[in-house]
Structures are given as C-alpha cells and as structure tokens.
Amino acid sequence: MLGVQTLLISNAAGGVNANFKVGDLMIITDHISMFIINPLLGKNEDSLGTRFPDMSEPYSKKLISKAKKIAQQSGYDLKEGIYCGVTGPTFETHAEYKLIKIIGADAVGMSTVQEVITAVHAGMRVFAMSIITDVGIREEDNKITHEEVLAAAAEAEPKMTALFKELIAQL
Ligand code: HPA
C-alpha cells in the first residue's frame, strides 16, 4: 500500500550447518517453508498479487551479489545458505535440528519466511540475512536460551548494520 519495492529483512537463526558458529552472518539464498502456515492461505487478494506466486527467486540474486561485494570490500566473512522457517516458540529438539539439516537447510528460525512469501506475492524484491545465534546440531549439552540468542545477536549487530547501510546506499 505504501509502494514498497524492496524489502530488507534480518533475523536471529539457529545454525544447522556444521561449518557455522555463533555470531556468523548468513545471507539467505533460499528457504524451506513446510513447517509454517502459509500466509497466503484463504481467499487471494488479487489486487496485491496472483493466486499461485512463483518462488523460483524469493531472494533477489542481484541484491545477494551486491551484499557479497560489500562484505568482500569490508573484509567481512559472510556465510550463505538456506533458511528453514518454523513456527516456534519452542526451540527445536535434537531430532528436529537433525531433520532440518537433512532436508537441506543451513539455518532455522521463527520469522522471515511468512514475510518473504507475502512480499514476493506483492511483487517486492527481497534481501534477507540471519545472525547465527546458536548452533542446534551440537551433540553435547545443547540447551538454547532466549538470553543466549539475544546476546549473540547484539554482538553481531554492528557488522550487520554496516552491511545493510551500505546495501541501502547502493539500492
Ligand atoms: N531455532 C528456531 N529459531 C531460532 C533459533 C533456533 O535455534 N535461534 C534463533 N531463532
């Protein structure tokens, strides 16, 4: 309604890629949305978008490539990967983290996917990035707390803000 054409999203996510560590930034290149209620269920709002939206490029390849260039120039190490959307509010069990890894995701979180589906339906281009705030596939003691998530997000936030600022400048 406001005429937004580009949507930039950030989130906190749990890592399920064994190469990820707490504090990593991950560009989302694609997502898996089979664990959430699709926000487009129900009568379609034709004035916003089509009944059956294409999802072949939910995350703009152009924006991803711009962000990678910015990170390279700034000396930031950026991961990239697939984000699996879940409803929460529980964090995942060991078995669920394992399943999410097996189906091809690198990170898991409770937001973003619904927003991206809605934005793509309305014709927006999207860029999204996760802060890996916990690692779900640790075999040993793997308690995850909201406090741990908040602390990791706060620590990585300045790097993410710098990246987003530069990306916005280049839109
Ligand atoms: N799982 C789901 N959502 C999350 C996580 C997680 O491990 N960390 C931050 N948001």
How does DSSP assign 96-151, residue by residue? HHHHHHHTT-SEEESSSHHHHHHHHHTT-EEEEEEEEEEETT-SS-----HHHHHH
Find out whether the beta carbon of 58 lies less than 6 Å from any atom of ligand 1: no
CATH 3.90.1720.10, applies to 6-36+46-136+147-169: no
109 SS3 class: strand
State the average pLDDT for the chain. Answer: 93
Find out whether the beta carbon of 85 lies less than 6 Å from any atom of ligand 1: no
Residue 14 CA: which ligand 1 atom is closest? 7
Residues 66 and 141: their CA atoms lie apart, in Å, by 38
Q: What is the pLDDT of residues 19-66, one digit of tens each?
A: 999 999 999 999 999 889 999 999 999 999 999 999 999 999 999 999
Given a cut of 80, whether residue 139 has pLDDT beyond it is no
Q: Where are the domains of the chain?
A: 6-36+46-136+147-169
Find out whether the beta carbon of 106 lies less than 6 Å from any atom of ligand 1: no
Cα(145) to ligand 1 centroid in Å equals 9
Name the more confident of 170 and 151.
170
Q: What is the pLDDT of residues 64-101, one digit of tens each?
A: 999 999 999 988 899 999 999 999 999 999 999 999 99
